[in-house]
Chains A and B, each alone.
Chain A
C-alpha cells in the first residue's frame, strides 16, 4: 500500500490497521477503503473545501482507534434519554452496547447493530458503503476502513415507525478516534424519525469521525435530527449522505453545540422526481470553537423541492463556517429551492464565513437564497430594557429567540426541551 502522507495522525491510524483476510464483502469493503486512504491525504486550508477550516491541530494528535468500549454509568447519560423514543441504540466510542440499548420488539422495522443483522439477508450488503463514497474523502475512507459496528435500520415497505429511533453515540475514552456509523434504508412508502445524537461524559479531547447513509425509496418519509454535543476539546468530523427517490421526503435539523473543531458534510441527492428535502441547521458556538457546515443539495430530477434555513450564533472568539451548495442539474426543471443563511455575531471577535453556492443548469426553476450576518438589534434590546429587563437578560432572550426558530422545527418535544435548556444555559454565560 502506498503511503502518500507524512501526517502522523494518518500514519498512526494506518499502522494500527490490519488487513482483513478479505473473505467477506465487508472485509473487501474495508480493504478497499483502506486502499483509498493510502491515496489520500489530510485536507488543508489549501483545499477549496477546507479553506476556512484548519484541521492541522488534529494532524498532530495521533489518536488511535478506540477499542473495547469501557463501561458507562447509566446515571451519566440518562439525562440525554428521550421519553418519546421507544427504541434506542447506544454506542460507546463507536461500539455497540446492547446493555444500554433498547430495541423494542418492533414489528414495523428491523433495527440493530450491523453484526446482528448481517445474517438476515443481503439488503445491508447492497447498501452499506454505497452512498458514502470513500474514494475522495479521507475521513469517509477511514471510517469505512475501520468499520465494525453500525446502527442499521430497515423500515420495510409501507411501514411507519411511529416513535423516534434514538441513536446515542457516547464518547467515553479520551485521546482515541471513534468511528460511529449508521445506515438507514427506508423502503417505499415507509416513515420514520431518527435522532443521531453525539454526547460525551468526558472533558479531554477525542476524535469522532462519523458516517451516515440514508436511502429513501419512493414516497418514503424520514425525519433526521442530528445533535452534536461533544465537549469543547473534541474533534468531530461527520459525513451524511442521503439519497431521495421519487416523491420521497427528507426533513433534517442539525444542531451543533460542541467540539473544538467540527465539520459536518451533508449531501442530499434528489435522485427521483418530485423529491423534497428540508435541511435546517443551528450552530451555537463560543470560546475558540470552530464549526463548519458544508451542505450539498443536488437536484438531479425535475419537480424537486428543497428548503434550507441555517443559523449560526457565534460568541467569544469562535468561528462559524457555512457553505451551502445547491446544484440544479440540466434536467431538473421546475425545481423549487430556497436557502437562507442567517448569522448572529455576539462579539466583535466572533467570525462567520458564509457562502451560498448556487449552480443552476436548468432554465425553468425557482431558486432563492440569501445570507445575513448581523448583531443583536439595538432597538430590540432597548425595547426590552425599557420594560426593566437587564442588558444581559435582553441579549440572552434575543439570542435564544434567534436559535429558537430552528429548534422549534424539531418534532420531538423532550429533545426540544433539552436543547432549549442547553441553549439557555449557554446564552447565560456570555
Chain B
C-alpha cells in the first residue's frame, strides 16, 4: 500500500555492477517505502537476479558505482549475514541443496540468530518444532521436510515453499522474491501467495521479481517496474503488468522511446 509519508526502506541510486568483469547492471534506480509491494519484470538476462543477489550481498557480484541505502544504513557496509539480521531476505530463484544439514537445524539456527539480534527470545529444539510446524501449516508443507537435508531432493515447488517458510520465520523488513512463482502449479501459487500476503504489512516491503502477470493476480503490487539491460526503464502502477502481458516487452520499448523523445523535445 502506498503512503507518501512512509519511511524509505530501500534507496538504490545509479547502481552499476559487474560479474566476471562484464557489466550487468548499468545505472539502476529504485526507491521502496515501507508498506509497498514492488514488482520487477523483464526479459531473461535483463539483470533481475543479479540485482536481487547484490541486495543479499553475494560475493560474486562487484559493485562498480552507485549507492544502496537500506533503512538509513549503507548496505555495502554490511556482510550478507548482517544484512539478513538487519531484515533483508532474498528468496532465491534457484535455492541450493545442502546435503547433510538438517532442515530443522538450519531453520532453528537462522531463526535464533535473527531473534537474538532483535533482542527476542530464542527457542530450544522442542519449542521451535512446535513453532515451525504452525508456520508450515500456513504453507501447507509436509512436516517431513523438517527431517530432511536442506532442499535436498525437494521438487522445484517444494524448494520455493521452503524459501517462503524461511521468510515467515525471519519476518524480514525487505523481502525480495526472485521468481518464486516459477515452477509452482496454480494451487501451490495460491498457497504461496497467500502466505506472502499474510506476511506483508505497513512496516515492511516486498520486491517481487517475476516474468508473469499470473503471480500479480494474487499479490497485488503498488508499482510495476520493467527492467532491461541492467536498468529500470519504466515504472507504473499494477495495470502495467497487464499491458505487458497483452503486448509483450517490445511494446514498452516503442512506447518508452517515444516518451523519452517527447521529454527531450
Contacts and interface: CB of A to CB of B under 8 A. Distances in A.
Nearest to B112: A388
Given A388-B81, A388-B84, A389-B81, A383 B98 contact: yes
B101 A397 contact: yes
B96 A387 contact: no
Interface stretch (A46-54, A177-185, A400-408): A400-408
Interface string A389-404: 1110110011011101
Interface string B70-86: 00000000011101110
Interface stretch (B12-20, B55-63, B123-131, B252-260): B55-63
A380 to B, nearest CB: 5
B97 to A, nearest CB: 9
Contacts of A384: 98, 101, 106, 110
A361 interface: no
A389 B108 CA distance: 11
B81 to A, nearest CB: 4
B96 A380 contact: yes
Given A383-B92, A386-B84, A387-B166, A398 B114 contact: no
Contacts of B114: 388
A388 B85 contact: yes
A401 B81 contact: no
A401 B100 contact: yes
B58 A389 contact: no
B56 A389 contact: no
Contacts of B79: 385, 391
A235 B96 CA distance: 41
Contacts of B83: 386
A203 B165 CA distance: 47
Given A382-B59, A397-B106, A387 B100 contact: no
Nearest to B88: A386
B109 interface: yes
Contact of B110 (A388, A400, A405): A388
Contacts of B81: 385-386, 388-391, 394
A379 interface: yes
Contacts of A388: 81, 84-85, 110, 113-114, 117, 170
Contacts, number: 70
B66 interface: no
A383 B96 contact: yes
Contacts of A385: 57, 79-81, 84
A393 B95 CA distance: 19
Nearest to A404: B100
Interface in B28-64: 56-59
A405 B100 CA distance: 7
B170 A380 contact: no
B99 interface: yes
B253 to A, nearest CB: 34
A394 B81 CA distance: 10
A420 to B, nearest CB: 12
B90 interface: yes
B57 A386 contact: yes
Contacts of B90: 386
Nearest to A380: B98
A378 interface: yes
Contacts of B56: 386
Interface centre among B57, B58, B170 (most CB of A within 10 A): B58
Q: Which of B80, B96, B109 has the most chain A CB within a 10 Å cutoff?
A: B80
B154 to A, nearest CB: 14
A387 B98 contact: no
A382 B84 CA distance: 11
A404 B109 CA distance: 18
A313 to B, nearest CB: 12
A210 B92 CA distance: 52
Nearest to B169: A387
A429 B201 CA distance: 42
B6 to A, nearest CB: 25
Interface in A367-389: 378-380, 382-389
Interface in A110-164: none
Contacts of A380: 96, 98
Contacts of B110: 384, 387-389
A204 B214 CA distance: 69
Nearest to B97: A380
Contact of A398 (B84, B101, B117): B101
Interface in A284-342: none
Contacts of A382: 58-59, 80
Nearest to B81: A385
Contacts of A404: 100
B76 to A, nearest CB: 15
A375 to B, nearest CB: 14
Contacts of B95: 383
A281 B83 CA distance: 39
A78 B81 CA distance: 40
A394 B85 CA distance: 14
Contact of B101 (A386, A390, A391, A401): A401
A387 B84 contact: yes
Contacts of B101: 384, 397-398, 401
Contacts of A386: 56-57, 80-81, 83-84, 89-90
Nearest to B83: A386
B98 A402 contact: no
A394 B84 CA distance: 14
Contacts of B149: 401
User: Which of A380, A388, A393, A397 neighbours the largest number of chain B CB atoms within 10 Å of its CB?
Assistant: A388
25 contacts: A382-B58, A382-B59, A383-B96, A384-B98, A384-B106, A384-B110, A385-B57, A385-B80, A386-B56, A386-B80, A386-B89, A387-B110, A387-B113, A388-B113, A388-B114, A388-B170, A389-B109, A391-B81, A393-B109, A394-B81, A397-B101, A397-B106, A398-B98, A401-B100, A405-B100
6 closest cross-chain pairs (CB), A and B: A401-B100, A387-B110, A388-B84, A388-B113, A385-B80, A385-B81
Given A385-B84, A386-B80, A389-B81, 6 more contacts: A387-B84, A388-B117, A391-B81, A397-B105, A397-B106, A400-B100
